[in-house]
Every structure is written in C-alpha cells, then in structure tokens.
Amino acid sequence: MTSPTSNSSIGRIYLDNNATTRPFPEVVETIAHHLQHSYANPGSRHVEGQFARKALESAREGIADLLGAEPDEVVFTSGGTESTNMALFGASRCEPGIIALTAGEHPATVESCRELEKRGWKLLFLEFDEDGLLKTDALSELPWREIRIVSVILAHNETGVIQDLSVLSQLCQEYQVFLHVDAVQAVGKIPVRFDELAASALSFGAHKFHGPRGIGGLLLRRGVQLAPTAFGGHQESGKRPGTEVTALASGMLRAMQICLDGLDERTQQIVALRDRLQNGLLQGYESASVNGSIEHRLPNTLNIAFPGIDGEVMLVNLDLHGISCSLGSTCASGSAEPAPVLLAMNRPEEVYNSSLRFSVSIDNTIEGIDAAIERILTAAHRLRETSASHAV
C-alpha cells in the first residue's frame, strides 16, 4: 500500500490529529539515534546499560520539568490508556465506594470504571452544561465522604473543551479523594502543570503531540500509593514492570520540547487554521453549528454538526475525497452509538447524528484548509440533496 499524498500537493488532507499525529522529523532522528547508541537494557549494571539508564533518566527529568513535576513522579508507560488503567485500578484496591466521572470521558476511563462497577464500586456521573463545561455549582453538594476516586478529562478528545478543574481539585484535597486527570489530549497543545492542577495522578501519551506511539506517562504525586496492576519486574520504581524503552522516552521528550518551545506562536498559527476551517464551513452550510464551548477549547479542535446529513455517511464520503477526519474518539469508532459527550450536553438528535470532528496541526496549511472547505461543503450539499430526495 502506498503512502497517502502529502498535504503540500493538496492531495489527501489530514484533519484527524486528535486521533494521532505525525512524528516530528527531529523526533524520528532522536529515536533512531538512541536505538543505535542507547540500545542496552537500562536495568543492566554494565557500561552499556548505565549509558542507556543515563539517557532514560535524562528524558524523565526533562519531561518532569516541562510538566511541573518531580522526576520521581514520572512513570513511563505504553501510552495514555495504560496510564489511565494504572491510575484507576491501582487506586481502587481499597474498600469500594463511589467513583465520580463525567459522562463524556474517554473510553479508557469509562470502560475501566465499568469494570470496577462490577467489583462493587458505584459510579456517579458529573454533569456538563450545553457547552460541555463541567457544572461546578453543585460539586460541593456531592456525597464527598463516600467518594473515593474522581477521574476527569482536562481537554476533551472529541469537542476540545477545556475544563477548569480548580473547584473540583480543591474539593478532592479537602476530602482527601484520589483525583486522576486525563491530560492525554491536553499535553503539548496547552500549558499543563502538575503542580498547579493539584491532582493525585495525570495521564499523557506521546503520539498526541507528534511523538512516537507506544510511549506515555503517568505523573503520580509523591506520597500517593497505587496497588500494582502488573507483575514481573522492578522497573519504574516498582510501579510498572517491563524493560523501559530509552529511545521512545527520549523521543517523547523531544516532541514535548518542540511543542512547548514557542507555544504561543504555534498556538496562534493553529487557531488561525482551525478558525479558517470553522468559518468557511459555517458560512457555506447554513444550519451547521459548533459543538462545545467556543471560548474554552483546544486550539486545534472543531466539532461541527451538519444537520440533514448522516455523519457516518459523510465520514466515508470525505475519506473517498481525500479528507481524513473522525466521528469522535477513535478508541470508540467501532460503536454506532451517539457520542456520549454530545448526549451529556443535551444536543438534539439531528446534531449528534451529523457531527464530525476535525483536528488540525502545525502540519496543515492555508491552502490545504481552503481545499478542505471546498471538498467538505461539496460533499455536504450533495449528501443533503440526496437525503432530501429520498425523503420525498
């Protein structure tokens, strides 16, 4: 199978960067370098092993510094899903109580919590308003003395909505509740500081910010203990067994450095691309509407509804015409059910059945965005006409 045409030729246009991103060339170079030179097992005591260990710990220190954590709070994992599982299952080895989460959490969180529900835990779903923002007014009225775990997404993978977690984190501290923050979609796109969030644990994954797949991390607050969820080794201070991959950890650090270096300027460029796409689609399709807060969202994310069109049909049609986008979370793409986050926002059926997610990156261009607008609108109007004729 040949590689898809690059955006520069206005062939295929990749607008699914919340699903995964293309690794930066510098990241690929970093990984290749360490595969050649830091190949040894970092747990070995010989010279080669110690060389790999030094590189691994350098990556750990760099990531900790960028995320407002201490090096010994960084646990390397295979990615965001493993990190979330580790946090929730590790924190649940106590007397079952209530787990509080939002109805729009990522499948890694929801499915983990559903499994814990089978083990005696009760789930309490926190409410969103119509913009996808957490309703904070009623948080103090929750049964905090029964809540043991809170898990909340910082920036939503489908709508891009960014939550203000200050009230929630204060309550968790007051009642000594374990707070897990899913920052998988946030790290690399907006400033994320573990020391400011006051969370017990925080998940992130490299491939969401132009790093390699197969590597991520869990930030675990000093003094917070998790029961082991896997066995077979002493690595990562006994928290996560298995030989660490120095090359991937180093590649993740390099990606994070590139994303956060000049973040303000990069954000302006990405917002300009996202807003150009948004405005073009809203102007060209009269009944189109944006899902989620316009003000409080990731700079790259646009979740938009095209009433009168079936989103699944639109998705396939756009792929055939060179546009890569998504209905929502790729981890739940096998499901025909409406996106839970849109249901939680009380969006009407004609909206949640016709919504698509477009997520841009620094790889996109103005020319590519303009071409995407034309293709999307052409497909949308054609499909609406077809749908209307079938309804007659």
- Catalytic positions, please? 331
Q: Which residues pair with 179 in a beta bridge?
A: 150
The H or E element that residue 391 is part of is helix 366-391
Contact 39, 388 (CB under 8 A): no
Query: H helices of 153-245, where?
Result: 166-174, 194-197
For residue 45 the two structure tokens come to 């005591």
- Torsions phi, psi of 90, nearest 5? -70, -35
Instruction: Give 187's DSSP letter.
Output: B
First to last CA, the chain: 42
CA separation (Å) from 26 to 65, 124, 202, 230, 250? 20, 44, 26, 33, 11
Contact 246, 34 (CB under 8 A): yes
* 92: Cα within 13 Å, side-chain hemisphere: 27
Nearest CA to 189 among 72, 6, 381, 360? 360
- Residues 6+ positions from 166 with CB-CB distance below 8 Å: none
Amino acid present at 168: L
Q: In terms of C-beta density within 10 A (0-12 exposed, 13-18 middle, 19 or more buried), how is residue 122 classed?
A: middle
- Residues 6+ positions from 354 with CB-CB distance below 8 Å: 305, 306, 307, 308, 309, 310, 311, 314
d(C-alpha 204, C-alpha 181), whole Å:
9
